[in-house]
């Protein structure tokens, strides 16, 4: 495993953890208040899509790099 492969997997895992946090908020419906403003749940759907995509993309890139070596 080279350094590039390792960093792709680490960052992909971090994005995966954040995606799971977005999914947990969607499922549980926990309210998040920022000052007087309540964060809408639909923002978590966007966050889940973006972080889930990045997680999968980074893991696929790490597999492709490993296959090239």
The pLDDT value given to residue 17: 98
Q: Report residue 47: phi and psi, to 5°.
A: -65, -40
The pLDDT value given to residue 4: 87
Strand positions, DSSP E, the chain? 33-34, 37-38
User: 1-60: per-residue pLDDT in tens?
Assistant: 688 889 999 999 999 999 999 999 999 999 999 999 999 999 999 999 999 999 999 999
């Amino acid at each position: 495993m080279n350094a590039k492969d390792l960093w792709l997997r680490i960052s992909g895992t971090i994005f995966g953890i954040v995606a799971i946090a977005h999914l947990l908020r969607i499922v549980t419906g926990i309210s998040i208040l920022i000052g007087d403003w309540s964060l809408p749940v639909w923002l978590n759907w966007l966050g889940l899509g973006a972080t889930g995509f990045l997680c999968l993309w980074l893991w696929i890139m790490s597999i492709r790099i490993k296959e090239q070596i």
